[in-house]
Chain A
Amino acid sequence: MNIQIKSGRLVDPKNKIDGCHDLFITAGKVIAVGSPPANFVVQQLIDATGLVVIPGLIDLAARLREPGYEYKATLESEMHAAVAGGVTTLACPPDTDPPLDEPGLVEMLKHRARALNQAHVYPVGALTYGLKGEELTEMAELADAGCIAFSQADAALVDTRVLMRAMQYAATFDFSVWLRPQDSFLAREGVAHNGEVATRLGLPAIPVCAETIALSTMLELARATGVRLHICRISSKEGVALVRTAKQQGLPLTCDVSANHIHLSEMDIGFFNANCYLVPPLRDLRDLEALRVGLIDGSIDAICSDHTPVDEDAKQLPFAEAEAGATGLELLLPLMLKWVKQSNLALIDGVDKVTLQPARVLGLDSGHLSVGSVADVCVFDPEVYWRVEPSLLKSQGKNTPFIGMELQGGVRYTLVSGQLVFEYKKIK
């Protein structure tokens, strides 16, 4: 299939392109940018006049809920949500039921995802069996089965000797280890940031030092083992500062933040809004600002959706009994755009944080539209405003702190490997 995406504003951070260029695709790959190659016969023309053409989004944390939590979401529903959000590649954390600690489970997930023929799915394998933090998984076997990195998801790894050995073993094969820093003792029972709002509402709190203590341990062990470490969902000003310093010292370190955390703070909990019950907790305005600064100065590499579909019943409970998390795949693009607008950044710098940078974290040669690259493309309308409503979300999870809010930027076309997998149709 020969596809021409015509008259769009092409934004490609890797090639430092931001201008009106046509994109030509053949056999799943980009074959030309600007003018068509010789003898190119257009079979499918996508008119992108007034639209922006960017590499497909790459999301470092999207829970698809399979296996085990099909009542919350299914691979079908969430893969559909991904392409509707312009996400063409996603990494899914291992906290399924059972966790992704056996090669068979990973193969099954890869197989099911491939059969749906939508976004590329890269499972993140469990670092320890059952995510219990006790025994190492067969990382090399899991990598052969398709795992791109290894993680504990949100499960605790209390035993620092196990953590050190997991890092050493992963470093042997040059596998990357992804960890969310949180001291499990300090975070015990906590559901909100240890600040003014938790004090006012009487919610059990998680102090910032729960993040920085765990982070310090991880950084020291990364220094000692030489492992490639990726820090997931940084949430505090002090945490960003530790990451910044470690990077300046040359540690091979990457870091992501959730799109929720660069827009919201503890204040948004208001009167116990369970949609704002997130992991890690939303912290204060000072932290929010530091996360944005960290993204701009490169301390934080990427923005992820931290997509966590939760069924409605699990949110209709008193705050601390509710289930944490929010749907996010379809909000990643508009939330990135919102940050770009509010921080007065160039669009290309925002696009970088959801395409090229996450590709680098994953070690993939994607997230760009160079000639010869796989044609994963997102085409969006930068001007359109839409109100986030449950009925508009393809994800089975309808819970997000942004429900009812107006966001700017809507995906119009998504291509994965040169195939049109999503086209926006206005609901009349």
Chain B
Amino acid sequence: MQALVIVAHGSHLNPDSAAPTYAHADTIRATGAFDVVQTGFWKEEPSLREVLRTVGAEEVYVVPLFISEGYFTEQVIPRELRLEGWDVSAWDSDGLSASTATLPAADTGQTIHYCGPVGTHPAMTDVIIQRAESVTGDSDVGQGAGLAVVGHGTDRNANSAKAIEYHAERIRARERFDEVQALYMDEEPEVDDVTEFFETEDIVVVPLFIADGFHTQEDIPEDMGLTDDYRDGYPVPARVDGHRIYYSGAVGTEPLMAEVILERAADAGAEVGSARADVTAAAGATVRGD
């Protein structure tokens, strides 16, 4: 028996917060790769404190649906799951390289394979590009276009920006887009000035966020000048300062994210069989990794 538990932040206010977590769980459940696929949340139910007892399996792969290594993945989740003997050194990570750590859960005795966050997995690069294809409706998007990968950014945690830069650099190396920039909400270079960073007329903007909410649907569209009032929505593409901006909304809602979750579990030793290929096909993915 092996179980997959996808853990995410969730929200007391916004039902969209959990929506991608549920969608990816359903996709993976349908592959039959795991005996149980469950979701757990910091702000919703079942809580991180109680999610493990809801799955009967002895072997549990826990994949955090978070963008970067930091407070939640290093402190909150292991504490709330009661991972016995957890210390962040178990990941032996440089801030991007957390893969897995195997620990017992103190309250259930299960063996927990605690994986690194989805956001730092190499496969996430493909999801960003897939997102760019989805929003432009162009499976060859790249030539003549710029790509902005947007992160929250925070002065409190260097890893937050590292994840954004990591994927921006990997996409740049593929020489698919004319220009690739990493931009942030809360630090320089800021997404507000997005058009200043690109020569290309077309700019695809993909926010590296797990779910759509206040930041991706209100702040960023208004800050970039896509709309004066988020309640009116925004056009895709939107004209700003002589550029056409294709703003994709949260990358985490892209169906291909389910594949990254499976990659994390497989890296930690889960038997996933053909599930990755099934999920990629179901997501209609056209991006092939490096």
Are A and B co-members of a single complex? Answer: no
